[in-house]
Amino acid sequence: MKKIGQIMENARKEKNYSHQKLEEITKIKSSFIAAIENENWQALPSFPTVLGFVKSISSALSIDERMAVAVLKRDYPPKKLSINPKPDISSKPSWNPKFTFILGISLVIALILGYLAFQYIKFTSPPKIDLVSPVEGQIVSGNSVLVFGSTDMDVKITVDNQPVLVDEDGKFSTDLEVSPMAEEVVVRAVSRSGKETVIERKIEVQQSTN
């Protein structure tokens, strides 16, 4: 069973035509004529153009056009040939409104979760106390000692079990009456979650002499 390339080549040789001669007659490039004879489909244009070539060549070489077209359709492999493949753009990133919306929502959610985590850690952590006075081992003259410092917001402060007012900046201050037998000052900070921090400072009370 002859193929379209063999039919074209045999008919051309019977006419004693070269590729260049057949090009002059049909106005089809000799390289295309040779590609059809060799069935080099990748070197040829799309199928409709090749079909036109075959019809013109068949007319010039006295080949039955219907037969040539039928053989071409049988031999031509359009499913295996990719003349103008579409570029694969599926893997290329594209910036579009939907992606922007999703990214924005993701950032908002991340910020909210981060804030909630920060508040949770803050809520469940013991409060801090920066006790400025008294210092460790402070000598106290008289019957009172100044206790002051700072702590976190919304924290309850007691000094020797006596509640002390904390201002909006977290600062506290009180004059604590002490007896001659007092040896320490205990400052306790309790957060809303019930966590507490305790600082004990040793003091030495000097009794006044007359």
Instruction: Supply the CATH number for residue 60's domain.
Output: 1.10.260.40
Choosing from 75, 94, 111, the residue where a domain stops is 75
- The one-character DSSP state at 95 is -
Whether 95 is in a domain gets the answer: no
Q: Are residues 201 and 133 in the same domain?
A: yes
Whose CA is closest to 63, among 136, 10, 1?
A: 10
Q: Which residues contact 158 (CB under 8 A, 6 or more apart)?
A: 164, 187, 188, 190
Domain that holds residue 48: 4-75
Whether 105 is in a domain gets the answer: no
- Decide which of 51 and 85 is more confident: 51
Residue-wise DSSP of 12-37: HHHTT--HHHHHHHH---HHHHHHHH
CB 53 within 8 A of CB 32: yes
Residue-wise DSSP of 180-192: TT--EEEEEEE-T
Share of the chain above pLDDT 70, in %: 90
Whether 108 is in a domain gets the answer: no
The pLDDT value recorded for residue 68 is 87
Choosing from 31, 56, 75, the residue where a domain stops is 75
- 24 vs 15: CA distance, rounded Å: 14
Mean pLDDT of 133-157: 90
Mean pLDDT of 143-149: 91
Whether 15 is in a domain gets the answer: yes
Name the burial class of residue 79, with classes exposed (0-12), middle (13-18) and buried (19+) by CB atoms within 10 angstroms of its CB.
Answer: exposed
Whose CA is closest to 23, among 12, 11, 15, 33?
A: 33
Instruction: Supply the CATH number for residue 147's domain.
Output: 2.60.40.10
CB 120 within 8 A of CB 159: no
Total domains present in the chain:
2
Q: Are residues 202 and 133 in the same domain?
A: yes
What's the Cα-to-Cα distance from 126 to each of 44, 60, 129, 192, rounded to whole Å? 81, 100, 10, 10
pLDDT, tens only, 79-102:
554 445 555 555 555 667 888 888
pLDDT, tens only, 154-199:
899 999 999 999 998 889 999 999 888 888 999 999 988 888 999 9
Whether 194 is in a domain gets the answer: yes
Whether 141 is in a domain gets the answer: yes
Whether 110 is in a domain gets the answer: no
Whether 25 is in a domain gets the answer: yes
Mean pLDDT of 131-155: 90
Mean pLDDT, the chain, as a whole number?
Answer: 86
pLDDT, tens only, 57-87:
989 899 999 988 888 888 887 655 444 555 5
- 153 vs 190: CA distance, rounded Å: 11
The pLDDT value recorded for residue 81 is 44
Q: Parallel, antiparallel, or unpaired for β 144-151 and 129-133?
A: antiparallel
